[in-house]
């Protein structure tokens, strides 16, 4: 496969550094022959856009809407779905390039690993949302990393947003490419993270089918923080590099997952997802 057949569709919410992003991609081996499309909020479009980046914006858009926008603007046969806070590591492009040569109709996915050590508070967000995507890969895992996917255009719908949940429901089963790693480096403040978990829990519950009754939702919301925190710890225990981090940050993870459950209960009660534009 020629590199010109691959486009990168990168989404980001909030402030971002275009020069740093492009430099990170170049260090990962992404050269000027690869389409790079970044979709962001209108107020965060850079004043000076580096050559080699195509920047698109959409007002009142969720992260999933922005991914859809970046995908729609690309023209290549294969599209990589990435996040500006989880850029490819050196060797990512070469590994995905080799994999694409095999032509899997369901595309490819790679690991998401932290760009920091176990004592960094960003580990709270990493192990909670992405720890299951660390190497070694669990072959029984039924999830896919939404921020490290390479899919053929035939697998991408013409809908306004991008949804890995919808693709999984359609039977998507990408092949795992072990050396195609992205490095998670998302900025972190605990209060902001808890509010984010609340928003995502609410949106999840409002869209869930079949809907839960309030009689079932209330006790479930009380139990779920413990269930979710235990699941995070179990996934982390499979990876030697994450065990100490997960145990050390477990109380904070439990608090954050309590916010998710509160948001979920709110979604079941109101049947409203909240402001989709803040979902990131």
Average pLDDT over residues 4-23: 92
Rounded Cα distance, 112 and 231, in Å: 18
68-120 pLDDT, tens digit per residue, is 999 999 999 999 999 999 999 999 999 999 999 888 889 999 999 999 999 99
- 276, with CB counted inside 10 A (0-12, 13-18, 19+), is middle
Instruction: Note the residue count of the chain.
Output: 280
Can you read off the two tokens belonging to residue 58? 């959409």
Cα–Cα distance for residue pair 71/80, rounded to 1 Å: 9
Between helices 122-129 and 250-270, what is the axis angle to 10°?
Answer: 60
| pLDDT computed for residue 159 by the predictor | 65
pLDDT, residue 210, reads 66
Tens digits of residue pLDDT in 15-29:
999 999 999 999 999
Helix intervals (H) in 15-163: 18-27, 63-73, 92-100, 122-129
Confidence band of 3 (pLDDT split at 50, 70, 90): low
Mean pLDDT of 137-142: 84
Would you tell me how many other CB atoms lie within 10 Å of the CB of residue 158? 7
| pLDDT tens digit sequence for 70-84 | 999 999 999 999 999
Q: What is the pLDDT of residue 48?
A: 92
pLDDT at 1 over 60: no
Give 210's contacts (C-beta < 8 A, 6+ positions apart). none
pLDDT of residue 142: 84
Where residue 4 falls among pLDDT bands split at 50, 70, 90?
Answer: low
**Which domains are seen in the chain, by residue range?**
3-110+145-184 (3.90.550.10), 190-278 (no CATH)
Mean pLDDT of 139-168: 85
Distance from C-alpha of 138 to C-alpha of 111, rounded to nearest angstrom: 11
Tokens (6 digits) for 9: 């569709």
Partners of 39 in the beta sheet? 11, 56
Q: Give the DSSP H/E element, type plus range, for residue 248.
A: helix 243-248
Q: Which of 17-31, 157-171, 185-199, 222-236 has the lowest mean pLDDT?
A: 157-171
pTM tops 0.85, yes or no: yes
- Percentage of the chain beyond pLDDT 90 is 61
């Amino acid at each position: 496969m020629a590199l010109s057949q691959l486009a990168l569709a990168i989404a980001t919410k909030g402030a971002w550094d275009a020069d740093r992003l492009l430099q990170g991609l170049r260090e990962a081996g992404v050269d000027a022959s690869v389409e790079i499309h970044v979709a962001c909020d209108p107020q965060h479009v850079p004043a000076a856009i580096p050559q080699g980046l195509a920047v698109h914006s959409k007002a009142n858009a969720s992260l999933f809407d922005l991914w859809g926008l970046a995908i729609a603007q690309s023209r290549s046969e294969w599209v990589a779905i990435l996040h500006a806070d989880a850029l490819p590591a050196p060797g990512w492009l070469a590994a995905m390039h080799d994999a694409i040569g095999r032509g899997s109709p369901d595309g490819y996915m790679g690991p998401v690993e932290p760009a920091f050590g176990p004592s960094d508070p960003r580990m709270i967000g990493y192990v909670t949302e992405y720890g299951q995507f660390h190497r070694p890969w669990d072959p029984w895992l039924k999830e896919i990393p939404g921020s490290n996917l390479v899919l053929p255009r035939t697998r991408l719908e013409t809908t306004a947003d991008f949804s890995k949940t919808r693709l999984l429901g359609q039977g998507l089963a990408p092949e795992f490419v072990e050396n195609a790693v992205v490095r998670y480096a998302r900025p972190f403040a605990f209060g902001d993270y808890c509010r984010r978990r609340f928003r995502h829990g609410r949106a999840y519950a409002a869209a869930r089918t079949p809907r839960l009754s309030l009689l079932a939702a209330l006790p479930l919301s009380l139990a779920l923080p413990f269930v979710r925190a235990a699941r995070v710890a179990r996934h982390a225990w499979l990876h030697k590099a994450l065990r100490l981090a997960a145990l050390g940050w477990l109380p904070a993870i439990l608090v954050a997952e309590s916010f998710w459950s509160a948001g979920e209960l709110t979604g079941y009660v109101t049947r409203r997802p909240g402001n989709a534009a803040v979902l990131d």
